[in-house]
Structure 1
Amino acid sequence: MEFRLLGPIEVTHEGTPVPLAGTKIHTVLAALLLSHGHVVPDGRLSEFLWRWDPPATMNAQLYTYVSRLRKKFGDVVSIDRRRPGYVLDSDDAWIDTVEYHRLDRLGREALEARHFEKAGALLKAALELWRGAPLANATEFLAEAETPRWEEARVTTLVGRIEADLALGRHAELVPELTRLVADHPLNEGLRAQLMTALYRSSRSADALAVYREGFVILRDELGIEPGPALREAHRLTLDNERPGPSPQPRGRTVIGSGSLVGQGSAPAMLPPDVEDFTGHPQQLAEVVYRLRGASAGRPDRVVITGMPGTGKSALALRAAHLLRHHFPEGQLYADLTEEDGSPRDPYEVLGTFLGVLGMSRHTQPGTLSGRAQLFRGLVADRRILVLLDNVADGAQAAALLPAGDSCRTLLTGRTAPVVDEGTHLVRLHVLSAHEALALLESVAGAGAVRRDPAGAAALVELCDHAPLAVRICGLRLAAGESVAALLARLTPEERRLDALRYGELDVRAGLRRGHAGLASGARRTLRRLAALPVPEFSVSRAAPLLGLDAREAEDALEVLADARLIDVAGLGGDELVYRFAPLVRLFARELAEARGVAPDALST
């Protein structure tokens, strides 16, 4: 049996592809293969599948994925349960990552022995095993954990192969390849030095010096450093018959993080108004406050709040931030990272706002995202500042906005966990309990409105699915004079419920629409088609024909919606996963389907 991970994850047996259904089953397989016969703990597999936000059915789902792999592989490859996780015995299998390491090692040994032809052939063979980005059809969590080291290994192998080719006098034919590689990896000094070498050996010394000057500027502006030994040596060799020449003198640098920019005048206070009547999620609120308070060793630098639409992520984050204001006397920064239409905000512009309130005028701010991020981190590094990033779209958007330093703390909200690493603590919100939902309704509407009709109030929060945003809107309507009975009459018809769950700027449908806008077109189509199902819970096999997909494609499509918190895993049905629509999300999906001219019942027959 052959396994390929250096590209999309693929399995073949005696030349025949072994089909695997779903991103997560590919992820489990890749994680087991990359452990090289060592046990992969359940917790580690969970991180690769769901990061730090696993479902309640985590153990059952892991067992399901492993069972499917066992059925596919039969007796050829064994996967054993060995606490605290699983181990795959791949002794008799061919794995491209193992073969890559073997060829790379032999090639380096040949290069060190100055056997350049042999080295070049071995290293070229190692590179030819790559079929694209490694682990391309695994979860983003496994890819984020593993891809950087594999990409770095590939570039290192590439540098070795080019070194062999340069030694064999192939400098002229290397120039186009190296030009492209330097453009792709502008901070890699080894590749830049090799391009300079190929250029000056091709009698293009002026071009080689231009490459050096470009690298010098990039290293100075992006990293604040000067060229290293390899690049300096290439520069020396380019100049007049290897005569030492003067290196460019570094320009004056801007000192960042000085008291001249921050600390004059009042500290920035960007938080929106506090949610004074905040109710519910008491344990999660206490957890967020505890995790962000103080600077003791072991405390996380960041807390991420995730959950389905309308579960109160933003309200809890704001409440926690206000409770923590006195712990961060040097400022609180805030940004909503999603536009009204659901599109993500540009972190470049957000950093411009942050730098402005920290004392930097627009005309003095760097013109690149990396430059602004570096300046921002320098300004806040040693200061007691809290940064609240609300409605984060993804990790790439948040990365440039994360401060550095032991004194700063960051609080993020998002439907998925946008930034999860060793310095992050995850808090997941679910809908409120019936008791918490009634307490929130009473807090907003006043005790009298609820106590006059307790049964009606209980029915109201049920129709709201105990979602904090929906319950709060009902409370505001009651506080404005609407009766419980009248509001029940508006909410009971499903086709009118989302219309009624709107008050002022608070709008359940608008929140769902923003989340929907962030989906790819295929995921939007999946959501609309699932609305045709007559029941809120469905298995992969039930959804597949409705979506016009096979089982593998259907599971991938459902996982996209689950990751976006628009559906959830309800449990297991036999050996397959069962998913569930939250009631308000299902109503929204049915509206989308009807707006496209598809009657909900039409697709379910």
Structure 2
Amino acid sequence: MGRYMEFRVLGPVEVRRDGHRVAFSGAKLHTVLAALLLAREEVVSDERLCRLLWGWAPPATVSAQLYTYISRLRKILGAEVMIDRRPPGYAMSIGNATVDLNEFEKLALGGREALIKEDFERAGELLRDALARWNGQPFANATEYLADAEAPRLTEARAVTLEHRIAADLALGRHEQITGELTGLVAEFPLRERIRCQLMTALCRSGRQADAIHLYHHGRAVLADELGVNPGEELQATYRALLDGTLDRWPGSAPAARAGARPRAAGPSAGTPAMLPPDTVDFTGRGPELELVCRALTPDGQGAGRPRRVLVTGMAGLGKTALAVHAAHRCQRHFPDGQLYADLRAADGTPRHPARVLRRLLRALGPMDDVPVTDDQDQLVRLYRERTRGRQLLIVLDNASGAAQLGPLLPNTPEPAVLVTGRTALPTVAGAHTVALAPLEPRDSLELLAAAAGPARVAGAPRAASAIVEHCAGLPLALRIVGTRIAARPHCTPDRLARRLADPVTRLRELHSGDMDVHTSLLPSWRALEPGVRAVFPALAALGPEPFPAAEAATALDLPEAEAERLLEALADAALLEVSGADEWGQPCYLFHPLVRLFALSLEEARAPRSGDLAGRTEHNRRLTHRP
């Protein structure tokens, strides 16, 4: 007798045989299984599996590790399931097994069809059965890369199914029974306007018009704060019907109408997005660079039909974001259709997946009801380009990591202007005006320090201020950190902090305040290096604070000069090394920013033995200030 097998992804990824959970562990193994299930017996390419397992930083042993995971799954699942190698990837056939996602989708579709036919009892029953298939956050025990790529569409499908089930309940006159549930759902999904409309309807039918009015105004404030948009047409229409006393009779609240042809705003500009972060109040310096960016973004009537693209580059901590946001605020009046903003780097420094960014931008550009419930990035790109076409938008894409991430986020028409920040040149931004930031000059550095610390504090300790400026080496992040620390300690003179910064051994540890940290800001650039480049980074820093040619690096690393130059160029591309003039034979020379050099040497120190290695510590200290 065969055994009954079921797969679950609407919560933790699970396999069950005859009702009993099959034990296996590991986020990556659960990820491979989930990816194969989601493909519904189609081929999942090695490239996609790699992206779902390791994001944008796969190991060198990708093929071997994929083979290992597939072999382990075959052993766990047994003969009932077939996993075949079909170049360029793998496909899985589950035979008579069931998948909770497939059952959910089938029941949800049946419930929606019953709702359109106004068979509300049947609709409610099917939709409740569909929602019962959920068991928590989808892919809860898989990698974050899979969750980021796939969970949003499933969460959206669940929320839509909830809306349909509530519509059936409202049609059956159960408004009093579901008011409590709806109140919780509005708290869970504060940006879903349809659920807010449904709670307003339930409150109105329960004689609580004042609460319904308050709920609308609260929703308007949430939409403005979170997305920078006004309420959509459906929420506004619900509010008007509430004020007119016609909410019960308003056609837009009819469940069948909502489940079928959904109301939508007239045209793509249902709301005017205003997503820019707050401007830097004490923005200082960067006058020429600011002028270049603003001039490139401002329409001048010339070059009609040519896209406006601006790229701001530079090492971590140079103030690329501050410059971009300040320029965007200055140019705001030229973009009446709104301003979009997306940070393309996650809190842990890893690049965000383009599909996740696209969904956030699409939510600001129009109704999410029209966004397909799919993991197909191409569909999201098409909709994004439809919604940006012909609109005078300013799109700020901050902390771009590379062409693969940035390409899907660029409009394909000239009307929207795009301002990108990144640590190196990005070939995807074809024809862009590139503004490369350098460290601040001493005068601008002193001005920024005074703006952050308070002019009186800096003016009262001119020698300490000059020393701090020298130790920060023109890095705006470092200057702002020191200024913030001085401002937060009114009874502590700048002299004391200047003395602490004077020691190169502890300087990086001092450049920390709250969530601002020079060491942390440099880590993503270092982690993105290929292993070979990462390995030689500290050794190159040991060459000293002066410029050096590839020949000198080759000698220190015991490598051919061509290979040493390749490694140096990779570091320059990552904005961890600067090209600084040429030697007497015309060969390019390379130079570490002083704080980047201390960062590199700190990585070497972290790997060194710590038990009484006085000689090693002395050598490390010597390297901080001298060349060998």
Return the TM-score normalized by structure 2: 0.53
Residue 387 (structure 2) aligns with: 379
3-state SS of 2:409 partner: coil
* Alignment partner of 1:571 is 2:581: yes
Residue 375 (structure 2) aligns with: 367
Query: 2-side partners of 1:521 and 1:260: how far apart?
Result: 52
Residue 550 (structure 2) aligns with: 540
Report the residue type matching 1:352 in the other structure: R
Query: 2-side partners of 1:485 and 1:421: how far apart?
Result: 45
> Given the superposition, is the C-alpha separation of residues 505 and 522 from structure 1 closer, same or farther in structure 2, using an over 3 Å criterion?
same
Offset from partner CA, 1:540-569 (integer Å, 9 cap, x none):
122113223111110000000011111111
Residue 288 (structure 1) aligns with: 293
Residue 100 (structure 1) aligns with: none
Offset from partner CA, 1:271-323 (integer Å, 9 cap, x none):
11111111011110011111101262326511000112221111101111111
Higher RCO structure (Cα 8 Å, ≥6 apart): 1
Residue 513 (structure 1) aligns with: 523
Residue 494 (structure 2) aligns with: 484
**Alpha-carbon distance, 1:420 to partner:** 5.7
What residue ranges of structure 1 are gaps of 5+ in the alignment?
1-178, 182-257
Query: 1-side partners of 2:455 and 2:429: how far apart?
Result: 43
* Alignment partner of 1:325 is 2:332: yes
Report the residue type matching 1:320 in the other structure: A
Query: 1-side partners of 2:431 and 2:541: how far apart?
Result: 39
Correspondent of 2:509 among 499, 509, 512? 499
Offset from partner CA, 1:305-362 (integer Å, 9 cap, x none):
0112221111101111111222212221111112233221110110011112222427
CA contact (8 A) 1:478 1:484 kept: yes
* Alignment partner of 1:316 is 2:323: yes
Residue 436 (structure 1) aligns with: 444
Correspondent of 1:529 among 512, 516, 539? 539
Instruction: Note the 1:16-165 alignment, pairs <5 A.
Output: none
Query: 2-side partners of 1:436 and 1:300: how far apart?
Result: 33
Query: 1-side partners of 2:431 and 2:565: how far apart?
Result: 32
Return the TM-score normalized by structure 1: 0.55
Query: 2-side partners of 1:415 and 1:584: how far apart?
Result: 16
Report the residue type matching 1:580 in the other structure: L
Query: 2-side partners of 1:364 and 1:261: how far apart?
Result: 18
CA contact (8 A) 1:304 1:411 kept: yes
> Given the superposition, is the C-alpha separation of residues 364 and 421 from structure 1 closer, same or farther in structure 2, using an over 3 Å criterion?
closer
Amino-acid identity (%):
41
3-state SS of 1:314 partner: helix
* Alignment partner of 1:584 is 2:589: no
Correspondent of 1:340 among 325, 347, 366? 347
Correspondent of 1:417 among 419, 425, 445? 425
Number of positions where the alignment pairs a residue of Structure 1 with one of Structure 2: 352
3-state SS of 2:506 partner: helix
Offset from partner CA, 1:153-212 (integer Å, 9 cap, x none):
xxxxxxxxxxxxxxxxxxxxxxxxxx989xxxxxxxxxxxxxxxxxxxxxxxxxxxxxxx
Report the residue type matching 1:281 in the other structure: R
**Alpha-carbon distance, 1:365 to partner:** 4.8
3-state SS of 1:308 partner: coil
3-state SS of 1:304 partner: strand
Q: Does 568-577 or 461-470 show the bigger shift?
A: 568-577
Query: 1-side partners of 2:582 and 2:375: how far apart?
Result: 52
3-state SS of 1:543 partner: helix
**Alpha-carbon distance, 1:364 to partner:** 2.8
Query: 1-side partners of 2:283 and 2:311: how far apart?
Result: 19
Query: 2-side partners of 1:328 and 1:431: how far apart?
Result: 31
> Given the superposition, is the C-alpha separation of residues 596 and 536 from structure 1 closer, same or farther in structure 2, using an over 3 Å criterion?
farther
**Alpha-carbon distance, 1:535 to partner:** 3.8
Query: 1-side partners of 2:487 and 2:316: how far apart?
Result: 24
Query: 1-side partners of 2:608 and 2:367: how far apart?
Result: 52
3-state SS of 1:391 partner: strand
Query: 1-side partners of 2:558 and 2:347: how far apart?
Result: 33
Report the residue type matching 2:298 in the other structure: R
Report the residue type matching 2:601 in the other structure: R
**Alpha-carbon distance, 1:422 to partner:** 5.1
Instruction: Note the 1:146-185 alignment, pairs <5 A.
Output: none
CA contact (8 A) 1:381 1:403 kept: yes
3-state SS of 1:364 partner: coil
CA contact (8 A) 1:342 1:517 kept: no
Moved beyond 3 Å, runs of 4+: 258-261, 419-423, 598-605
CA contact (8 A) 2:400 2:422 kept: yes
Residue 454 (structure 1) aligns with: 462
Correspondent of 1:263 among 256, 269, 275? 269
**Alpha-carbon distance, 1:536 to partner:** 3.9
Residue 556 (structure 1) aligns with: 566
What residue ranges of structure 2 are gaps of 5+ in the alignment?
1-85, 89-263, 610-615
Query: 1-side partners of 2:364 and 2:307: how far apart?
Result: 26
> What RMSD over aligned residues (CA atoms) do the two structures have, in Å?
2.5
Query: 2-side partners of 1:506 and 1:403: how far apart?
Result: 33
